């Protein structure tokens, strides 16, 4: 299984972080950690931009986050069904992540600074992604 099962439309099948999809399928939010500088990346990166090395290991990422900002998207790219809410959250471990909010959360329930939780989700046709939800 490769990266072609990430999201509603995936533009690449091969990537150095293809294992990410398998982790999501198991319900695990995983990032990568640079073995040299210990920086944890989410979404995962195959190479550390600080150290310019590819010695990375998979680490579990806690999805607890704070909502930094959000907006309603009314015109969506291929694979995204508008309208949806795009959110920027800051994980408690420091990484900032863009993701959709869960569809059942109304726009007027959201407030900058509130707690949200990033979690894996299943899509049609055995595909996976991640989204923010309420904790």
Piece of the chain touching Zn ion by CB under 5 A; list 35-43, 68-76, 86-94, 100-108: 35-43
Side-by-side strand order, sheet with 96-100:
96-100, 84-91, 64-73, 115-122, 128-133
Write out the two tokens for 26: 């198991």
Piece of the chain touching Zn ion by CB under 5 A; list 17-25, 41-49, 90-98, 117-125: 41-49
Write out the two tokens for 86: 């795009």
CB 95 within 8 A of CB 40: yes
Binding Zn ion by CB under 5 A: which of 17, 24, 30, 48?
48
Should residue 51 be labelled a site residue for Zn ion when binding is judged by CB under 5 A? yes
Q: Which of residues 67-96 bind Zn ion (CB under 5 A)?
A: none
Should residue 40 be labelled a site residue for Zn ion when binding is judged by CB under 5 A? no
Binding Zn ion by CB under 5 A: which of 1, 9, 36, 71?
36
Q: Measured between alpha carbons, how far is 99 from 80 in angstroms, rounded to an integer? A: 12
Nearer Cβ to Zn ion (37/76): 37
Backbone phi, then psi, for 5, in 5-degree steps? -95, 10
């Amino acid at each position: 299984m490769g990266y072609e099962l990430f999201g509603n439309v995936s533009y690449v099948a091969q990537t150095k972080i293809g294992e990410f999809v398998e982790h999501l399928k198991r319900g695990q939010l995983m990032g990568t950690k640079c073995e040299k500088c210990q920086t944890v990346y989410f979404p995962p990166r195959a190479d550390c931009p600080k150290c310019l090395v590819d010695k990375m290991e998979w680490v579990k990422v806690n999805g607890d986050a704070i909502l930094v900002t959000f907006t309603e998207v009314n015109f969506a790219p291929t694979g995204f069904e508008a309208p949806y809410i795009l959110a920027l959250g800051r994980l408690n471990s420091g990484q900032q992540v863009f993701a959709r909010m869960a569809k059942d959360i109304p726009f007027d329930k959201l407030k900058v600074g509130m707690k949200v939780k990033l979690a894996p989700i299943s899509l049609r046709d055995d595909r996976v992604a991640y989204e923010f939800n309420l904790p």
